[in-house]
Amino acid sequence: MGTSVVIVNPVAGHGTAAGRLPELEAHLAEHRVAHETVLTQRPMHAAELAEKAARDGADAVVAAGGDGTGNEVVNGLMRARSSVRRLPALGLLCIGRGNDFAYGAGVPADLAEGCRVLADGYSRPIDVGLIVGGDYPQGRFFGNGIGIGFDTIVGLEAAKMKSLHGFLGYVLGALKTLFLYYRAPLLRIDHSGVPFEKRSIQISVMNGRRMGGTFFMAPEAINDDGLLDLCMAGAPRRAQMIGLMLKYMKGTQASSPHIVTGRVRKLDVTALDGGLVIHADGETICTSGVRVQVECLARQLEVLCPRPLP
């Protein structure tokens, strides 16, 4: 593997990533990964650094953080694609929360093993999603998936809980959402050229398999098939939604009569009442959107990952 630019988000993992810098550098040195380490200083700084690294001819750009850092690096690389002959490979090191994008790409959660993957230099192509609308009329790329409705509101509520993190914070955020903000808006949905109307409390559109570190929204997703996996809940009652959340944790929600699944290249969602609350890879796209369009861009990036077993 040639020279890598390792982009570290020091505030990832609720600020714990900065304390892991010596460990990160030790593992990179142990595996003789030629690299330059740069730290982000503000939102979307990782995207700027990734775009610059691509233009400067880096062989690999590595996102060291969580899903938010990975999302920014994906956006930076995709922004550079029209102005470089070859995009750098994308590396992922898990020092943040969730790490769902890395999980879907097969990247080890262990930092030492992740550095070993970088040193080996094996890569494979993956799809990239694009969402247009909300606060991003110009579009924003995503690597793992988007959520519309319930899970986005839960994430926003969980983020307000400064003293609780991880799974417990998400559970309490879910309970608050169930009792205060539980409403399935009427949506117009088009993914096959024939639009239909449906009340839906939750729509997940996945390139990867897992969301929120715990919930397998698309357990059979393949991130290099040119398709996004759709998991759409209807309008279950509160008690039924709790049951669905338990199924999401096991990846068995397709057995529920409240769930519709499928695979799509493009998806168009319009709110006919209320507004759309959406995240992409955990990053807020909008809290009161009217319409979004989602598309799968086939095999846009090379991701560094473990070699397949012979």
Residue showing tokens 């012979």: 310
> Percent of the chain having pLDDT more than 90?
81
Q: What is the mean pLDDT of residues 77-85?
A: 95
Q: What is the mean pLDDT of residues 80-95?
A: 96
Q: How confident is the model over 229-245, as pLDDT tens digits?
A: 999 999 999 999 999 99
Residue 222 predicted with pLDDT over 90: yes
Residues 6+ apart with CB under 8 A from 60: 1, 2, 3, 4, 5, 88, 89, 90, 91, 118, 304
Q: What is the pLDDT of residue 88?
A: 98
Residue 194 predicted with pLDDT over 90: no
Q: How confident is the model over 131-184, as pLDDT tens digits?
A: 999 999 999 999 999 999 988 888 888 777 766 666 677 777 778 888 777 889
Q: How far apart are CA 50 and CA 36, in angstroms?
A: 12
Residue showing tokens 């494979």: 124
Instruction: For the full predicted model, state whether its pTM sits above 0.85.
Output: yes
Mean pLDDT computed over every residue of the chain? 93
Q: What is the pLDDT of residue 104?
A: 96
Phi, psi of 60 (to 5 degrees): -150, 145
What residue ranges define each of the domains in the chain, with the CATH number in brackets?
Answer: 4-121 (3.40.50.10330), 131-299 (2.60.200.40)
Residue 265 predicted with pLDDT over 90: yes
Q: What is the pLDDT of residue 309?
A: 79
Q: What is the mean pLDDT of residues 247-264?
A: 96
> DSSP for 97-126?
S--HHHHHHT--SSHHHHHHHHHH--EEEE
Q: What is the mean pLDDT of residues 60-77?
A: 97
| Amino acid present at 105 | A
Q: What is the pLDDT of residue 162?
A: 65
